[in-house]
Amino acid sequence: MLGSESLLVDRAVAAAVDAARAADPSADVSEVEASELHPAALAELTSPSLFAAARVLVIRGAEGLAAEAADALVSQATQPQPDVAIVVVHSGGQRGKALVDRLRKAGVRVVACDPLRGYELPGFVVREARARGARMTEEAAGTLIEAVGSDLRSLAAATAQLVADTAGAEITDEVVRRYFAGRAEVTSFAVADAALAGQAVQALEQLRWALRSGVAPVLVTAALASGLRGLTKLASAPPGLSDGALARELGVPPWKIKTLRSQLRGWTEDELAEAVQAVAEADADIKGAADDPGYALEKAVLTVARARRPQRR
């Protein structure tokens, strides 16, 4: 297992152990830190057991494996023993990379467990829902990420809860927003989406509801700034890119491209600059330069919404 994403590592290790136990339910499983492993201990942990026909050894932190133990491990990989499975966990990076290369050369299967990039997260959430027998739209997955964050364990747990609570119904953006209505991130992004779409009345309603609900003003300016950055990047992106390539270029999930394109149709370069300036001023105001953060936010939201003139939709 190669990579530092702990959820993916734990799942990959569990899958390997489960496969060994499916072949032999009595398989003996041992786990050891690589820094504590030496050739004699490796030989002992992989030798036939008095109580089980098969043995599974999980070695964690392989980047810290001593040279002698690494040689012994590669030797075992080159000439594998029957009924012995060795699972090696390496966090990635340059330390211990030579061991990874030697194991690859010996024919060891490498499972990538790298952290996911931002644009990959919606796909992860959709697959989590599908694995639990439910359907989820990419837009809903994006809203869930805005609410929960990018931690895979939190996303997996939230997806599981949604699937359980919706009893097999399709999980849409509306469902996620309703379920996480009290989450500040979702509320702040709802304000930003309405403002960037030029919907001044709706944006103000969302803002006032958010502030009454205790949403921190800084989260609203952060959401506005994030949305404007996306539009600015889209406006200056190379022409002819596919949605997937454009998502990677902008650092957003693919489903967001459609929303950004729709929003961008109402903006010119000068108007984007005006909106960015308004948000920057509001951000400074709510951090101490003004006595009334609510007024500063309302002014910024109105400026942003009105900068996107209705006839340009």
Mean pLDDT per 10-residue segment, the chain (313 residues): 93 93 89 93 84 85 94 93 92 92 94 90 94 92 84 88 86 86 71 88 86 83 90 88 83 77 86 93 83 88 85 40
Q: In this structure, are 190 and 301 located in the same domain?
A: yes
Ranges of beta strands (E only) in 68-173 are 84-88
Name the residue type at position 158.
A
The answer to whether 104 and 111 have CB atoms below 8 angstroms apart is no
**Minimal CA–CA distance to 251: which of 92, 148, 114, 116?**
116
pTM of structure: 0.65
Residue 110 lies in a domain: no
Give the containing element (helix H, strand E) for 87: strand 84-88
pLDDT of res. 250: 82
Domain identity same for 130 and 11: no
Q: Are residues 173 and 124 in the same domain?
A: yes
Q: What are the structure tokens assigned to 222, written together?
A: 């952060």
Reduced to 3 states (helix: H, G, I; strand: E, B; else coil), residue 55 is strand
> For residue 122, what are the domain limits?
118-179
Give a yes or no: residue 112 inside a domain: no
Q: Is 252 exposed, middle or buried (0-12, 13-18, 19+ CB in 10 A)?
A: buried
CA–CA dist 113, 6 (Å, integer): 8
- Amino acid identity of residue 156, one-letter, is A
State how many domains the chain has: 3
pLDDT at 244: 80
Q: Is the dihedral of CA 308, 310, 311, 313 positive or negative?
A: positive
Has residue 278 been placed in a domain?
yes
For residue 94, what is the domain's CATH number? Answer: 3.40.50.300
Q: Are residues 224 and 258 in the same domain?
A: yes
The answer to whether residues 158 and 201 belong to one domain is no
We report the CATH number of the domain holding residue 307 as 1.20.272.10
Q: What is the pLDDT of residue 182?
A: 63
Q: Measuring CA to CA, which residue among 40, 44, 39 is closest to residue 28?
A: 44
Q: Are 128 and 156 in contact (CB under 8 A)?
A: yes
Please tell me the distance from the alpha carbon of residue 223 to that of residue 233, in angstroms, as a whole number.
Answer: 15
Residue 52, pLDDT score: 61
